Chains A and B, each alone.
Chain A
Amino acid sequence: MKRALSLAAALAIALAAAPAAGEIKIGFIATFSGPGAALGQDLYDAFMLGIDHAGGKLGGQTVEVIKEDDQLKPEVGVQIARKLIEKDRVQIVTGVIFSNVMMAIHKPITDAGIFFIGSNAGPTPLTGKGCSPYFFSTSWNNDSLHEPMGKLATDLGYKRVYVLAPNYQAGKDAVSGFKRYFKGQVLDEVYTQVNQPDYAAEIAQAVAAKPDAVYVFYPGGMGINFVRQYQQSGLIGKIPLLSTATIDGTTLPALKEAAIGAITASPYSPDLDNPQNKRFVADFRKKYGRTPSWYAAQSYDAAQLLDSALRKVNGSLANKEAFRAALKAADFKSVTGPFRFNTNQFPIRDFYRVDVVKDASGQAAFAVKGTVFKDHADNYSKECALK
């Protein structure tokens, strides 16, 4: 009896350690409901397109993608992470739009020895001291995302800039990232309530301060409200509107002409001139009937990264060190341009100046107007113990 039990236990352990050969299970966590749902959908659609482009497999291996909605709630994120780890026994997790969810699920997933490819959120603690050998990002660190606009504002010769952001951690990270590279004077930093719909008061204050330019970080619906109200006040041509993560692929369809003339800094633009991006944009438009956002680009890159790494290890995750080395090599052609991993396994990448212009058919579209940073690494990699 005792023997049978220990045999059963040994069998159970063996089964747990070696999941059914020949298929890789990937947990896909993102926000698919509530105001952030459009971002999650972009992430998911692009990842599935990446699998299509790799021949319906990743690295020649069949994959099963298990899609879960975190509802933008950290506690829900933890629940579904547990379910993916314990019940579905996934070997890889990818996705995640929002930093608060990322902070909650990063530890349970990486502690379980599961490879985690973050394709959007990049909270600073995970970039520095909290970095993990199992975590890779195809996006950026939260505040390094805002450094390019600081540099660009300096390069454009703006001396006096008025800054607005929502009153939460990401808003403050944005402003500190911007200020790190902006050499001029910040006239005022205004923090507004999260999800505030009306910005008439703030816009009037900004105009009265007579700035050379206005810099904002308003993701999602806040950005649509702000940019439209700014344009309706007749300001876009008069006081240049600089922004990051405000006018992007997910908000431009709701802004259209209202955003023409705005200047943004971005890790991606759909008109980036490289063959892999041309194919990605054309097929994404064909399959989903819309233009991919940077969220989509980062998630497509996550699929490409997994494809390249799985190919190197012949589709087997048995040797984790080998798979980690294969991921670290980043042996794929990113749609966002040059891409390699830093020691903290966040990318070293280019950031571009991307303007909103009228395209040939008269529609508002993004256009790359030069590179702000080449091979830009975040500020925190030295705090990470990984080599």
Chain B
Amino acid sequence: MTASLLFTQLLNGLQLGILLFLLSSGLTLVFGIMNFVNLAHGSLYMLGAYFAASAFRATGSFLAAGVIAVAATLALGVAVERLALARLYARDHLDQVLTTFGLILIFNEAVRFVWGSAPVYMNVPAALAGTVNLFGLPYPAYRFAIIAVGLAVGLALYVLIHRTRVGMLIRAGAANGPMVAALGVNIRLLNTLVFGLGAALAALAGLMAGPIFAVQPGMGESILILTLVAIVTGGIGSIRGAFYGALLVGVVDTVGRAFLPALLREFLDRALAQAAGPALASMLIYLLMAVVLALRPRGLFPVKRS
């Protein structure tokens, strides 16, 4: 194992973490502020990817594809929130889980109906198709773009949450929703706004993931699990928690997958290491979550509640 390989793997972990952050930030907003379990967040990500793939093919511009995908998913997210989800806020989590799980099935079949069941192709924008040489190991330029977009989103969210009036209301809503409503804030509008923001962030994640992952029905489910681990580890409702949680999950998952099997082989029988290595590597993030929750039951960066 060389230093440059370790560095590359850390960068891979960072990049996966950033992509998870785009998803986890939206999910944690909805979960933390509205106290709403939205399992269909992965479906919004999938729809964002599909919209982006279609728009990119139609317009030839990645930027235009991004704008269209985000706008379309935002509109769809708000419509779903108004029509189906808004009446569930007062219900318990089980009802919310059942409804949003139903939405996953509906969205998957709707996507299959519109785009077919075969995966859809989305190209890397031509300007980012090359690789960057990192100490002798080639690294895809597009993955640097993901890191850049993710950091920019993180910064923008920081400013929005901590420096603006809307952000103040969002923070207040996370800390004590009923009190904010009692002070005369239109909590209904705030909820729609937050849900829309979450949908837009999911679409952005879908856009960035489109060129590296297969755009296909059900693509949101596997990544949703990682996202949930990230926000639970980071602390539900906190953007900062979503950021660090996602990075931690990304790095631990990547570095574990890369080095754990080889490490086990050092002191285990080869056949045993081959069987145990991948299994243990895939469990690593859940172990991490368990340890974090044992030490800090509300995650690494919990939201202060009164």
Residues of chain A touching chain B, judged by Cβ–Cβ distance below 8 Å, are: 32-35, 37-38, 41, 167, 189-193, 195-198, 200-202, 204-205, 207-208, 220-222, 224-225, 228-229, 232-235, 250-251, 253-256
Contacts and interface: CB of A to CB of B under 8 A. Distances in A.
A65 B258 CA distance: 48
Contacts of B255: 201
Contacts of A201: 9, 12-13, 254-255, 257-258
Contacts of B121: 253-256
Contacts of B109: 33
Contact of B130 (A195, A198, A234, A251): A234
Contact of A190 (B131, B217, B261): B261
B9 A228 contact: no
Interface stretch (B73-81, B88-96, B132-140, B172-180): B132-140
B254 A225 contact: no
Nearest to B226: A197
Contacts of B12: 198, 200-201, 204
Interface of B: 2, 5, 8-9, 12-13, 15-16, 109, 112, 116-121, 123-124, 129-131, 137-140, 142-143, 209, 211-219, 222-223, 254-255, 257-258, 261, 274, 277-279, 282
Contact of A232 (B8, B119, B120, B212): B212
Contact of B131 (A200, A232, A253): A232
B140 A37 contact: no
A122 B131 CA distance: 40
A30 to B, nearest CB: 12
A225 B258 CA distance: 17
A164 to B, nearest CB: 11
A235 B138 contact: yes
A104 B141 CA distance: 46
B93 to A, nearest CB: 26
Contact of B216 (A33, A35, A208, A229): A35
A292 B160 CA distance: 51
A253 B118 contact: yes
Contacts of A37: 112, 117, 217
Nearest to B259: A205
B147 to A, nearest CB: 12
Contacts of A204: 5, 8-9, 12, 137, 258
A1 B258 CA distance: 77
B138 A35 contact: no
A208 B118 contact: no
Contacts of A235: 138
Given A35-B216, A232-B142, A254-B119, A200 B16 contact: yes
A174 to B, nearest CB: 14
Contacts of B8: 204
12 contacts: A197-B219, A201-B13, A201-B255, A204-B12, A207-B138, A208-B2, A220-B214, A221-B216, A225-B212, A229-B212, A232-B143, A233-B140
Contact of B138 (A195, A196, A224, A234): A234
**By CB atoms of chain A within 10 A, which of B117, B118, B212 has the most?**
B118
B118 A233 contact: no
A365 to B, nearest CB: 15
Contacts of A251: 119
A233 B212 contact: no
A200 B213 contact: no
